[in-house]
Copies of this chain bind each other. A is one copy, B any other.
Amino acid sequence: MPDSAHNSEPHLWVKISLGDAGEVGPGKIALLRLIREHRSIAGAARAMNMSYRRAWLLINELNQIFGQPVLSTFLGGRTHGGAELTPLGEALIARFDSISSRAEAAVREELSALAAEVRSSD
């Protein structure tokens, strides 16, 4: 996400509200991706400049939403142990990416038109 902030192209961020169950947005998905990369909640939290507790709460929200864990932890790692995504966690990333790119594709022309209005006022 930090990369996009310096991108001059118009872009759509999506957040999925699942009603009372909760929300799935770019932050939680970025965290899942980093946990996959680092095989560690602590490592992912550091990479996002987020406390371990905050990362754990976000993961717990996802577990609660789906009633199943999005990651499994294993012993033997360094501080806080290691972690890897469950098939549900992997599927959630894929689903979110699919929804994001489909939504963005649907509005690409309107986004470009809006961006042109911004540029025309420079």
A residues neighboring B (CB under 8 Å): 4-21, 23-25, 65-68, 95, 98-99, 102-107, 110-111, 113-115, 117-118, 121-122
Q: Give bound CA distance, A99 to B104, whole Å.
A: 9
CB distance from A81 to the nearest CB of B (A): 25
Q: List 8 A-B contacts (CB under 8 A).
A: A7-B20, A12-B14, A18-B115, A18-B118, A66-B118, A98-B110, A102-B110, A106-B106
Copies in the complex: 2
Which residues of chain B have C-beta atoms less than 8 A from A17's C-beta? 4-5, 7, 10-13
- Across the two chains, which residue of chain B brings its CB closest to A104? B103
Given the contacts A114-B95, A118-B66, A121-B68, A14 and B11 also touching, CB distance less than 8 Å? no
